[in-house]
Structure 1
Amino acid sequence: MIHLPFRFLSAQSSQSESVSSETPFSTHKKTSRVNWILGLLCAGWAGTLIGCSTSDTVSTLGDWTVKSELEGVARFGAASFVSGNIAYMGTGADASNNRLKDFWAYDPSRNAWTQKADFGGAARNIGVGFAVGTKGYIGTGINANGDRLKDFWEYNTATNTWKQVTDFGGTARQAAVAFTIGTKGYVGTGFDGNYLKDIWSYDPTANAWTKVASYGGSKRMGAVAFVINNKAYVGTGNNNAIVQKDWYEYDPAQDLWTQKADFTTDQSTIARSNGIGFSINGLGYIVTGDGTTATKDVWEYNPSTDTWATRGVFEGATRSYGVGFAIGSKGYVTTGRNGTSPLDDLWDFDPTVAQVQ
């Protein structure tokens, strides 16, 4: 049996940005049919695909697959965390900007969502989440009255229950970043009426917040963060509506921020706000968000070389205020807002598989 070493993807409407299942026999676009037929002809004529391609086909590693959409309402500005091999997500705002507090778990092994106990605090959006062990934490954000918040809540994955913990140590804020290193969670940057750069660590054992070294770059909101080898990497976001291009590494052992290489002119589209970051197998990824251009490009960061490389394009609708996480060897993107329309789709990302455009 001959196995084609690539997939042809069905084109998506630039108007509807609708989600469709991926299949080589898609009839959404004539070009998809033509590409598929050409692939079969090449296989039949030569027995292999060596030297056979179409002039407009570009292959690169990094492929997306549509998965089961969230069973709750479409939303943007949700918060999430991962415990074990399960992702948890809740809060956010719907199409009418109503704040939400429903809470969901996604199991990639079953490709299924399960509704859990509602978030314990007030409904909100643009908050943050992180996990330490079997406990998850969600806090900050904006409530239905437009008030910024600083309360924090702990979710017990074993008992499906919430309890309030000590309020966040900094000011009430929105659009902060959060990450976990070891046994502590970290929250910082964001907007409290002013742009911010302070960083705070949370110790669940002591139920206490401690201010650590402030972010090494400029103040910002809507940044992204991911963790690789017990070091956090934080960047992008905006400061006074200007998207940022600096990039910093945080070492909690030294409580030290180290500036890494700025984005170059060729990497200008990395700069964005309200995007998504996650890490897989020692590499970090940034996707979606608001930028100077539509941000469907996928960027991969290698901390050992302090360099960036493109990894194809996100195959769902463009979006900001989405949720991203990694489980095992795959990354995931879900929800968010396309223009004024909230989303409920879910996509997984495999950086080892070639994407053909």
Structure 2
Amino acid sequence: MVPKLKFTFSIRNGDNDVDLQRFSDNVCRSMLSLQTPVLQSLHLEVIAKKSGTIDFGVLVGIAFGHHVRELVLTVEFSQGSFRFPINLYKCEMLETLKLGGCGSSIILDVTSPVCLKSLRTLHLHYVFFKDEESVLNLLSGCESLETLLVRPSRNDDVKTFTIAVPSLQKLTIQSGYGDGADYVINAPSLKYLNIEACHHYGSFLIENAPQLVEAEIFSGNVIMGSLTSLKHLTLSISHLEMKVPAGSIFNQLVYLKLFPSELEDWNLLMLILDNSPILQVLKIQSGYGVEARNEWKAPKHVPQCLSLHLKTLDWCVDGIEYGEEVAEYILENASRLEKLILSFDVDNYSLSEEDKLQVWHAMESMCPYSCEFDLVG
């Protein structure tokens, strides 16, 4: 009657066919002895040199027969792979599916639309899709999906990874080296977006996300559609391509955090400020050695958010050159500023106490008289 089960097998070296067969038999016997009407969760983790004789299809099929609600399957083979059986895409009671692999240990070959109508959470860690059609067929059959995490395996056969899920509310994409796919996001109910990607590897097109409230983007090749609903934005990129009408980019944005690492990022900051009329909180995490001196030019006009709405400026310094001219420009023009917070990166030991004191005095001298000044660290 146990409603939650977890089975783990881990032998990375040697010939493990006999051990893997014994493990598979033990799991099968345990699953067949179940009497609980609903299996709340099944975690199955197999780490082995090669796939051997384990039959995941049978084990997962038994779980589906017990109306499993959560299935977590982690498979890592040095040799061989596991092809998720197509008949197991028809579990109408499954609510959470988490698949994790290594290389091509788990292959998703989805030749027709699935039927996972109760699925709300889907995690795909290093899963190998056979083709672009498999991506479309899997996601199109998840009509109730709310949370999706994609951490793709290197796959030259998927050039365009299309995420078109009307019910999706939370999306995380963590793309590493070797993943050259272009991502297209069409999610009209999306409220939270997180993109973490290596630079110069593929692109991300936010095609349709009219309800997006919060976005955290760590990538260098993102094309944004109109994000008029966005309220919280975190950016750590050097080149942001914005495909929107001028003056209508971030008209609901109240919180912005930026990680500048070169001169272009200061220009990006000014572009966002100019198109964020009601921004109230600005956080700057300046990278080591980032400066604007003698290169950065202040805009000819003051953004509306600075003169009317900005209340908090939070500046974390990671080096003696931290964009002092930009900070001075903001502080001079932020007439409604109520609080200035200055902090130092605790993991950076290149800043001496004398350096910190120098930055502190500079910021303090620029701080408006009526503004509260806090020093952290």
Q: Same fold (TM over 0.5)?
A: no
TM-score (norm 2): 0.23
- Which structure has the highest helix share of the two? 2
Higher RCO (CA < 8 A, seq sep 6+): 1
Which of structures 1 and 2 has the bigger CA Rg?
2
